[in-house]
């Protein structure tokens, strides 16, 4: 059936940053038209606190909101909370999970991407993508004593820094951390921060993390009156470690401790950090709030589970095999298939773990679960199945400089698409919030122009790759070809680094600045952005460019 291309509303699929920005922009451009936003999730993602930091650099927060907030702000946007089950591109319509068909005049696909897991379908391998998966991860983490993180990009960098109270084995393919954002120099700068805060293998003997396990026999030492004490039972409301000692403190002479069984739920979330080298028993004193009032001192002689390292990094390896506990027990009984040297990390580990991971470097680690932070893959299946889209090498919908896919009247933006136009020499696609916003906005502009039979000039934001974020609590700014991507061997690097404070790297080619990595409060982003954009010949400035005693901004005014 031939489609009636001038009828039907403008339809956007996906309630993420790209889809919402696109719908908003369409709603503003066409206030008289209905804009349909069809999304599989019950909330939409909105850009808030938007700040244009410089010409191209932008900062904003991403907030999940009920779709009604968007509909209230833009009365001509109607949100349909139902996933698209099928696209019938020849008929210019989509079919949603609720069975309804929606005809479109023009369609913009912004269905994002999904985690590319190292092992699909394994319940012990988690990916983090959205609120639901993040909540599932947090739920599992609360119970976990050791997890493994696989991958070396943005998610892994964030997780290893944020996770507390749980041992982390971080398995990376590369020699240095954070390969998608950093070179080895920047990684070195960052790792000292990570290790100083998290304790590494080297200092693990000095700094140890303990966690309380199981039921604990807690002796309440109180000054409650005799009658209450004789009653001998009480309900513990909250319980916090307030004091730690290697030896029992002298208890008040008249104290008459009574037993109170606190189940592990009260304690399992408590993690104790400190320098307690070489001992196996500590005395913990708790502030306990009980139903009968506040008991102010408590001695426990509890058992500890000792975490010897909070973070351990395994470099240059990948996951070879994942064994469930039962499979692992069987395998362990076959020593011939399990060489002795490979046994090492397991035999010293007395714990029984739900899952065991064999790495390609031969080591095997038991853990509670794995996080596969191994990138994303554009979300083109299964709902686009049966349509003949041209796909990019990374599996995304190919889009041209007008954000058009290979099928008529269908546009795409954000993580789902692969930019296939001739890019500026200092821009590359990365699946980030900023690019999702910029693409969503630009796609709407292109859809509007196409309606008038025109084309749009490429938006300025695609002139220069610019990303500002935070890793390990440092501000991180990446500009242009920050890792000399695709520049060939004739580029040079200039570095300036003050340990614990800042790391500045610029990438130069033929005297021109092509990219930069700025970690810390360097205040250089605007100047460097200009230098990359205007491609000024900087040969005569040599290393003065990074001289901290020269005010670089004045230099180029």
Ligand X SMILES: Cc1cc2nc3c(=O)[nH]c(=O)nc-3n(C[C@H](O)[C@H](O)[C@H](O)COP(=O)(O)OP(=O)(O)OC[C@H]3O[C@@H](n4cnc5c(N)ncnc54)[C@H](O)[C@@H]3O)c2cc1C
Contact status: 11 vs ligand X (CB under 6 A): no
Structure token pair of residue 466: 């610019």
Contact status: 434 vs ligand X (CB under 6 A): yes
Structure token pair of residue 211: 């966690």
Between 285 and 471, name the residue whose CB sits nearer to ligand NDP: 471
Query: What count of Cα atoms within 13 Å lies in the side-chain half-sphere of residue 198?
Result: 26
Structure token pair of residue 403: 């954000």
Contact status: 155 vs ligand X (CB under 6 A): yes
Backbone angles phi, psi at 480, to 5 degrees: 55, -135
Here's the x/- map for ligand NDP, 156-185, by CB under 6 A: it reads as: x-x--------------x-----xx-----
Is 383 exposed, middle or buried (CB count within 10 Å of its CB: 0-12, 13-18, 19+)? buried
Part in contact with ligand NDP (CB under 6 A); list of ranges 70-78, 103-111, 367-375, 439-447: 367-375
Between 132 and 547, name the residue whose CB sits nearer to ligand X: 132
Residues with Cβ within 8 Å of 372's Cβ and at least 6 positions away in sequence, in order, are 115, 116, 117, 118, 119, 125, 126, 127, 150, 151
CB of 287 to ligand X, least distance (A): 36
Contact status: 53 vs ligand NDP (CB under 6 A): no
Residues with Cβ within 8 Å of 354's Cβ and at least 6 positions away in sequence, in order, are 124, 324, 325, 367, 368, 369
Which of 284, 236, 230, 225 has the alpha carbon at shortest distance from 264?
236
Residue 165's binding partner, choosing from ligand X, ligand NDP, none, with beta-carbon cut-off 5 to 8 A by kind? none
Residues with Cβ within 8 Å of 410's Cβ and at least 6 positions away in sequence, in order, are 89, 106, 107, 108, 109, 404
- Residue 184's DSSP bridge partners are none
Q: Determine which residue in the list 14, 19, 112, 154 makes contact with ligand NDP, applying CB under 6 A.
A: 154
With H, G, I as helix, E, B as strand and everything else as coil, classify residue 157.
Answer: helix
Between 366 and 375, name the residue whose CB sits nearer to ligand NDP: 375
Q: 291 to 320, contacts with ligand NDP by CB under 6 A?
A: 318
Q: How many residues does the chain have?
A: 557
Q: Determine which residue in the list 24, 314, 415, 463 makes contact with ligand X, applying CB under 6 A.
A: 415
Contact of 177 with 192, CB cutoff 8 Å: no
Give the other-Cβ count within 10 Å of 461's Cβ: 20
Contact status: 519 vs ligand NDP (CB under 6 A): no
Contact status: 39 vs ligand X (CB under 6 A): yes
Part in contact with ligand NDP (CB under 6 A); list of ranges 182-190, 429-437, 482-490, 493-501: 429-437
Between 62 and 255, name the residue whose CB sits nearer to ligand NDP: 62
Q: Determine which residue in the list 41, 180, 325, 360 makes contact with ligand X, applying CB under 6 A.
A: 41
CB of 173 to ligand NDP, least distance (A): 5
Here's the x/- map for ligand X, 442-481, by CB under 6 A: it reads as: ---------------------------x------------
Contact status: 38 vs ligand X (CB under 6 A): yes
Between 312 and 437, name the residue whose CB sits nearer to ligand X: 437
- Residue 359's DSSP bridge partners are 319
ω into 388 cis (within 30 of 0): no
CB of 20 to ligand X, least distance (A): 7
CB of 490 to ligand X, least distance (A): 31
β-pairing, 43-52 vs 58-66, is antiparallel
Contact status: 366 vs ligand X (CB under 6 A): no
Q: Determine which residue in the list 55, 78, 116, 129 makes contact with ligand X, applying CB under 6 A.
A: 129
Between 315 and 387, name the residue whose CB sits nearer to ligand NDP: 315
**Cα distance between residue 367 and residue 346, in whole Å:** 11
Count, residues near ligand X per rule CB under 6 A: 32
Q: 450 to 509, contacts with ligand NDP by CB under 6 A?
A: 469
Contact status: 15 vs ligand NDP (CB under 6 A): no
Q: Is 520 left (phi over 0), alpha (psi -120 to 50) or beta?
A: left
Contact of 154 with 180, CB cutoff 8 Å: yes
Which of 310, 354, 372 has the alpha carbon at shortest distance from 167?
310
Q: Determine which residue in the list 8, 23, 24, 45 makes contact with ligand X, applying CB under 6 A.
A: 45
Q: Determine which residue in the list 276, 433, 465, 474 makes contact with ligand X, applying CB under 6 A.
A: 433
Residue 375's binding partner, choosing from ligand X, ligand NDP, none, with beta-carbon cut-off 5 to 8 A by kind? ligand NDP
Residue 318's binding partner, choosing from ligand X, ligand NDP, none, with beta-carbon cut-off 5 to 8 A by kind? ligand NDP
Q: 108 to 137, contacts with ligand NDP by CB under 6 A?
A: 118
CB of 322 to ligand NDP, least distance (A): 12
Give 446-489 as a 3 state SS string.
Answer: HHHHHHCCCCCCCCHHHCCCEEEEEECCEEEEEEECCCCCCCCC
Contact status: 110 vs ligand X (CB under 6 A): yes
Q: Is 121 left (phi over 0), alpha (psi -120 to 50) or beta?
A: left
CB of 176 to ligand X, least distance (A): 20
Q: Determine which residue in the list 151, 165, 414, 520 makes contact with ligand X, applying CB under 6 A.
A: 414
Between 456 and 469, name the residue whose CB sits nearer to ligand NDP: 469
In DSSP notation, 121-146 reads T-TTEE---SHHHHHHHHHHHHH-SE
Here's the x/- map for ligand X, 83-102, by CB under 6 A: it reads as: xx------------------
Q: List residues near ligand X by CB under 6 A.
A: 13-19, 38-41, 45, 83-84, 110-112, 128-129, 154-155, 379, 383, 414-416, 431-434, 436, 469
């Amino acid at each position: 059936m031939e489609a009636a291309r001038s009828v039907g509303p403008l339809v956007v699929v996906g309630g993420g940053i790209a889809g919402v920005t696109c719908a908003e922009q369409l709603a503003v451009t066409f206030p008289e038209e209905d804009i349909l936003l069809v999304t599989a999730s019950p909330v939409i993602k909105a850009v808030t606190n938007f700040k244009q930091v410089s010409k191209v650099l932008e900062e904003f927060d991403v907030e999940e909101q009920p779709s009604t907030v968007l509909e209230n702000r833009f009365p001509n946007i109607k949100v349909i909370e139902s996933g698209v089950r099928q696209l019938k591109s020849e008929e210019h319509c989509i079919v949603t999970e609720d069975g309804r068909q929606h005809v479109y005049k023009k369609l913009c696909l912004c269905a994002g991407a999904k985690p590319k897991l190292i092992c699909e379908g394994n319940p012990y391998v988690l990916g983090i993508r959205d609120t639901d998966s993040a909540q599932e991860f947090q739920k599992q983490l609360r119970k976990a004593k050791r997890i493994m993180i696989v991958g070396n990009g943005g998610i892994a960098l964030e997780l290893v820094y944020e996770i507390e109270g749980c041992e982390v084995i971080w398995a990376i393919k590369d020699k240095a951390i954070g390969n998608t954002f950093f070179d080895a120099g920047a990684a070195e700068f960052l790792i000292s921060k990570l290790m100083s805060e998290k304790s590494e293998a080297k200092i693990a003997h000095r700094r140890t993390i303990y966690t309380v396990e199981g039921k604990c026999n807690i002796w309440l030492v109180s000054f409650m009156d005799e009658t209450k004490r004789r009653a001998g039972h009480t309900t513990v409301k909250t319980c916090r470690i307030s004091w730690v000692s290697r030896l029992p403190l002298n208890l008040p002479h008249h104290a008459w401790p009574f037993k109170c069984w606190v189940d592990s739920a009260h304690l399992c979330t408590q993690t104790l950090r400190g320098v307690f080298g070489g001992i196996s028993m500590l005395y913990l004193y708790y502030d306990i709030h009980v139903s009968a009032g506040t008991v102010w001192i408590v001695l426990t002689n509890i058992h500890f589970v000792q975490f010897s390292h909070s973070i351990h990094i395994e470099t240059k390896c990948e996951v070879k095999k994942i064994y469930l506990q039962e499979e692992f027990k069987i395998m362990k009984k076959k020593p011939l298939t399990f060489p002795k040297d490979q046994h090492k990390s397991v035999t010293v580990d007395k714990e029984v773990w739900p899952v065991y991971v064999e790495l390609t470097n031969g080591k095997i680690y038991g853990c509670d679960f794995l996080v596969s932070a191994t990138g994303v893959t554009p979300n083109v299946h299964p709902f686009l199945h049966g349509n003949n889209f041209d796909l990019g090498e990374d599996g995304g919908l190919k889009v041209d400089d007008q954000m058009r896919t290979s099928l008529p009247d269908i546009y795409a933006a954000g993580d789902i698409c692969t930019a296939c136009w001739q890019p500026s020499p200092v821009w590359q696609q990365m699946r980030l919030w900023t690019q999702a916003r910029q693409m969503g906005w630009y796609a709407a502009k292109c859809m509007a122009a196409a309606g008038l039979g025109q084309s749009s000039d490429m938006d300025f934001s695609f002139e220069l790759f610019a990303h500002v974020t935070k890793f390990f609590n440092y501000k991180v700014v990446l500009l242009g070809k920050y890792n000399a991507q695709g520049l060939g061997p004739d580029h040079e690097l200039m570095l300036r680094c003050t340990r614990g404070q800042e790391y500045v790297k610029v990438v130069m080619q033929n005297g021109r600045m092509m990219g930069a990595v700025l970690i810390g409060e360097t205040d250089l982003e605007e100047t460097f952005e200009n230098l990359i954009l205007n491609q000024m010949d900087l040969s005569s400035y040599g290393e003065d460019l990074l001289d901290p005693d020269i005010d670089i901004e004045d230099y180029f005014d």
